[in-house]
Chains A and B, each alone.
Chain A
Amino acid sequence: MPSLRALAPIALIALAAGPALAASPPAGKARTARRASRAAMVAIPAGSYRPLYGRPNDPLTVVAAFRLDRDPVTRADFLAFVRANPQWRRSAVRPLFADRNGYLADWRSDLDPSTGSGQAAGDAAALRRPVTGVSWFAARAYCAARDARLPSVAEWEYAAAASERQRDASRDAAFVQRLVSLYASRPRPLPPVGAGAANAYGVRGLHGLAWEWVDDFNSVLVSDDSRGVGGRDHDLFCASAAIGAADPTNFPAFLRYALRAGLTGRSTLETLGFRCAA
């Protein structure tokens, strides 16, 4: 899959921007952050899964063992990050790395992540909500500061295929239906993290809170150009999106892939957050 080619322009930008992205917090703080991150991570054993796009006879995608944040990154977490890394504050972020119209747009100010709507400044519940309105660049920088990274599509999908009981619930109609309902009608504002039940791996909030960034979000653009007219064109529009899909009934997966297909590294959505992996 030519996913590397699709990623190349972004990778170049990231390299060019090295110093800005790699600004690391003071050593003491970094150690604290790393300890904290280990405590909040869940070990995911190695395994394999069937990606949305592929033929039924394709080999399963192998996923090596990794660790994944138990919960999405909260506003409080991100506040600590922007305190230590002023270049990622709303007023300072470079337009190259985040759409400034949407970046942390519902924060009251650079260092106050409570949302404007009906909440008191510094509202404790607000701090526990997932941070959203964060670009891919910012999410990567956050994870890097924790000596972590964003999960890959494969890792995220693998971990998120689990229901409370089953590690692979992607063919469980009741589970699929529940995700359809969750995605179709997200609560506003998003509820605090940690409220829902953990899945079979012990991870929480993968579906019921915000969408989440993955590192290789644009690798779904399988052919040269998703706007092209080529025969193997995963346009993700109309019925042609079902061509080449392993499971046309997995609507939640289609919704996730369609969202990712529209993203660029600068995108900032009100319903898009992230968590880190290691």
Chain B
Amino acid sequence: MTTLRLPLPLPITARRLAVTAALVAGAVSASVALVSRAGSTGSSDDSRAAAAVPVRAMPEITGVEKAVLTAAPDVPAPITRDYATKVLVELETVEKTMRLADGVEYTFWTFGGNVPGSFIRVREGDLVEFTLKNHAHSSVPHNIDLHAVTGPGGGAAATLTLPGGASTFSFRALNPGLYVYHCAVSPVPMHIANGMYGLILVQPREGMPKVDRELYVMQSEFYAKPGAAGKPHTLDMEKGAAEQPTHVVFNGAVGALTGDKAPEVKVGESVRIYVGNGGPNLTSNFHVIGEVFDNVYGEGGSMVSQKNVQTTLVPAGGSAIVEFRAEKTGNLVIVDHAIFRAFNKGALGMIKVTGEDNPKVYAQLKGLPMAGH
């Protein structure tokens, strides 16, 4: 058995013709327009699905479950089931004032009350029924464009939601990978600049290699203008258009991943970071000081594209998955290696590695004592 795909990225009209032809001439002709995806393993229900919808093989849906969403840096547990199901996702947009940096309160627009928005995890082939709610206290309408979605606006065309309202649409998680979602109501730069983005992982149907720790880290930048008379900061239009952020941060605020909030792992543990970049403007030069990424799933795709990487680019509106094993105690420092952003604008995070020291990997032999190491 194989999974089936159209051989070429045909325009929609051509796809419609292909569908029509298949319906008229019967399922046999459909197979002519389809080729097998090399190297993939499929489930037994693929052929039946392919006959019905020749555009893409889709497995049968069994059962229904509610997605568990998490706030960064946490990631929902890996999906262990080996079949496709209907997944109910419910996400609420909330406008709220929170700390961006010390002394800087900002009125964020959020998915789920946090920046970045809640992490969503589904499995390749799942039928996702997505409900977007907009809190009644919101000032403006919101919607959602999930880059994992095949269809108009990535969902945005079906989810314009007024304050106090809700919208529901469904999509098939056709392509595995790590995808950004964001609000796409006009003016979209303002919605994104105010914090409306997050990540959705479409876990490949064969699963991902087991690791000891999964983390959710999303970079973004803010263009904060002080409010009049002590009111919260809001978007600075001029700085946004000039792409000159006041803050570049991981997980929505300066210090969101440092000090007490730094995740802790043990020597010997394998770590996978789901890295996203909400932008709105900057490309991230994602780097972890004192580590080398053993594996990088470049641009958040579904396969390891490179091994032994120091710094990986994460485009605005894009992602990457990086993996490493902690092999030495101390603090690993997450930075955007466009280094003024880290030093001056807040793009710093930390992972504490505890456990037994490992001097075979690294040892200071002579020199000034270093505090904190």
Contact = CB atoms under 8 A, between A and B. Distances in A.
Contacts of B161: 262
A184 B232 CA distance: 10
Given A181-B225, A237-B185, A241-B186, A259 B235 contact: no
A191 interface: no
A237 B157 contact: yes
A49 interface: no
Interface string A193-229: 0000000000000000001000000000000000101
B184 A227 contact: no
B37 interface: no
Most B CB within 10 A of own CB, among A105, A184, A186, A271 = A184
Contacts of B156: 235, 237-238
Contact of B227 (A102, A181, A239, A270): A181
Contacts, number: 117
A235 B160 CA distance: 10
Given A238-B145, A239-B188, A173 B139 contact: no
Interface residues of A, number: 38
Contact of B187 (A173, A186, A227, A241): A241
Contact of A267 (B145, B157, B162, B194): B162
A241 B12 CA distance: 22
Contacts of A227: 152, 157-158
Given A235-B153, A251-B187, A269-B164, A185 B225 contact: no
B319 to A, nearest CB: 18
Nearest to A268: B164
Interface of A: 101-102, 105, 173, 176-177, 180-181, 183-186, 188, 211, 227, 229, 235-239, 241-242, 249, 251, 254-255, 257-259, 261-263, 267-271
8 contacts: A101-B164, A184-B139, A235-B153, A238-B156, A238-B184, A239-B188, A241-B187, A258-B187
Closest 9 CB pairs of A and B: A241-B186, A185-B107, A254-B187, A237-B156, A184-B234, A238-B184, A181-B234, A237-B184, A262-B141
